[in-house]
Chain A
Amino acid sequence: MLASQTRASVRLARRSFATVVDTAGFKVAAVDSNQPTVAITFLAKAGPRYQQKPGVAHALKNFAFKSTEDRSALGTVRESELYGGVLSSTLSREHLALTAEFLRGDEKFFVDVLASVIASTKYSRHEYEELVLPTIESEVNALHADPATHAIELAHALAFRSGLGASLFAAPHTAVTADDVEQFAESAFAKGNFAVLGTGISQSALSALVAAALEPASTTAPTTAASAYFGGETRLDTHGTPQTLFIGFGAAGAPAPELAALAAYLDPNPSVKWARGSSPMLQPENTSVQVVYLPYSDAALVGLLIQGPSAEGVRAAGKAAVAALKGTSQVKAEELTSAVAKAKFRLASAADGRAGLVEVLGSKVLAGLSETSLEASLSALDKVTAAGFTKAATALVKSKPTYVALGDTQALPYADELGL
């Protein structure tokens, strides 16, 4: 009984935005799988990639749901609590997402909240100083306590310099003012620069609600130059955190499916939880190795993040990681098949959840691509051939590596010591 119900709900769950409609200057896409809750996301091209002043995108992310012409910051929070909804804002390198999740039936209120955040946030100086700056500060402190995220931030700065290289975080004592945030918001929420994505709501209902609540301003959207890959090496002395290495390579241009397969191929971790893999990258003493694959609209970063308690273990794992990265050109047919299967599973399971669906497909909707389903990305992975894989891997490894060492810089190896 339960099993048949589960199967029915699996059949019902759709994983693509059926249609994208352009309503009065912004794209609306929705998918309804009959789930009990609704989520609406306003996705804007307002990540740090598009910012004019460092840190302003991070400040804008934290300025979401503060006082607007309609209600105060406190009123927004308390009223949402009465409806039992959750408001959140998330920042990626390219996009800013303002999301409301709530029960069916409360669509009108939450669309109104999101629309007023976009159209009429006051960006007042005292709110910036009293509410936004402390949040920025604590997020920056959390970054400095998390060497994995910090290493990825540094790696982006090395790999892409400007544009995608801009940090997700503001500097600890940022020079950004409330006026800067207001100016950035004006351009970020310009006509055509954001999309409305809904899950658990029909396309027509969402379009009608948003069109009634919001009249986007016709200001000019922020622009950015095409990404280029540079690479380089940096070392940062920290203490009290695990020794961390990031060894990676980047590629400019739309991310090829071969890179996703390469990332899956490189992953030394076994598929069974708690099992130990036999890869030489997995050293004793809890040295962990994670594959990092970060695709963007016109670039991608592939690499291995190695963390461990001792610099020696990390050095040995780093040597094995470099050997693995350099050895990707001699891939066997069955290894490629299993890597492609792994990559497909990762993509599909990422898009299973609501947040993942918006992340995977939202950028496609925003870019105005006609094709916004998951199936296309999966079938692109199916078309990966051994020749194409080898070619992509060779080209990637030929570029200058991006190397980040965080921790005890006296003991951690330099890039050339690992054979890069």
Chain B
Amino acid sequence: MAGPLGLSLAPLIRSSPLLTKIFTPAAQWYAGGSLYRQYGLLYDDLLIEERPEVQKALSRLTPREAYDRAFRIKRASHADVLHAPLPREQWTTPEDDIRYLLPHVLEVENELKERAKWDTLTVKRKF
């Protein structure tokens, strides 16, 4: 049922201006508080990658994006070993925290859905 991105209420919240207004500050506080930015990571670095869809999406990153991702994960792992967040100037800023992997994952998901649709198609003659 849940895709590689897990269950999400975000589309529902984004569709309502009132809910957006209520939840945006909370979401920002939560993202800041969940510490991944203090380890220099982006949100999409935390996506569970042991799934075929995400693996396929990772293969579609540009060489630069793939390099940067590997660098961030390495740096964060090292900081974790040291039991200390990175120096403040290396923290991820909210503006830099872009969803670089999400569009690729969605695209792969849609491709798989389309393939399933064509594989299970029933052909009806219209005339």
**Residue ranges of A at the interface with B (Cβ–Cβ < 8 Å):** 72, 74-75, 78, 82, 125-126, 129
Contact = CB atoms under 8 A, between A and B. Distances in A.
A74 B111 contact: yes
A252 to B, nearest CB: 44
A74 B118 contact: yes
Contacts of B111: 72, 74
Contacts of B123: 82
Contacts, number: 17
A126 B60 contact: yes
Nearest to A79: B118
Nearest to A82: B123
A82 B59 CA distance: 32
Contacts of A129: 60
9 contacts: A72-B111, A72-B114, A74-B115, A75-B118, A78-B121, A125-B60, A125-B62, A126-B60, A126-B104
A126 B63 CA distance: 12
B108 to A, nearest CB: 9
A312 to B, nearest CB: 52
Contacts of B121: 78
A125 B64 CA distance: 14
A78 B121 CA distance: 10
Nearest to B57: A126
Contacts of B118: 74-75, 78
A74 B104 CA distance: 17
Contacts of A125: 60, 62
A82 B60 CA distance: 30
Contacts of B60: 125-126, 129
A129 to B, nearest CB: 8
Contact of A74 (B59, B62, B114): B114
B53 to A, nearest CB: 13
A72 B59 CA distance: 19
A126 B111 CA distance: 13
Contact of A75 (B59, B62, B104, B114): B114
Given A74-B115, A78-B121, 10 more contacts: A72-B114, A74-B111, A74-B114, A74-B118, A75-B118, A78-B118, A82-B123, A126-B60, A126-B104, A129-B60
Name the residue in B59, B115, B118, B121 with the highest tally of chain A Cβ atoms < 10 Å from its Cβ: B118
Nearest to A126: B60
Contacts of B115: 74
A177 to B, nearest CB: 11
Contacts of A72: 111, 114
A204 to B, nearest CB: 23
Interface in B81-127: 104, 111, 114-115, 118, 121, 123
Nearest to B62: A125
Contacts of A126: 59-60, 104
Contacts of A75: 114, 118
A65 to B, nearest CB: 15
Nearest to A127: B60
A208 B98 CA distance: 47
B125 to A, nearest CB: 11
Contacts of B59: 126
A296 B65 CA distance: 46
A301 to B, nearest CB: 41
B65 to A, nearest CB: 11
A9 to B, nearest CB: 29
A126 B123 CA distance: 31
Top 8 nearest A-B pairs by Cβ distance? A126-B60, A78-B118, A74-B115, A72-B114, A74-B114, A82-B123, A74-B118, A75-B114
Nearest to B108: A126
Interface in B25-82: 59-60, 62
A125 B123 CA distance: 33
B116 to A, nearest CB: 11
Contacts of A82: 123
A331 B111 CA distance: 65
Nearest to A75: B114
A51 B102 CA distance: 36
A82 B122 CA distance: 11
Name the residue in A82, A125, A126 with the highest tally of chain B Cβ atoms < 10 Å from its Cβ: A126
Contacts of B104: 126
Nearest to A73: B111
B113 to A, nearest CB: 11
Contacts of A78: 118, 121
A91 B75 CA distance: 49
A74 B114 CA distance: 8
A416 B121 CA distance: 66
A72 B123 CA distance: 19
A120 B113 CA distance: 22
A130 to B, nearest CB: 8
A78 B104 CA distance: 23
Contacts of A74: 111, 114-115, 118
A11 B16 CA distance: 71
A308 to B, nearest CB: 46
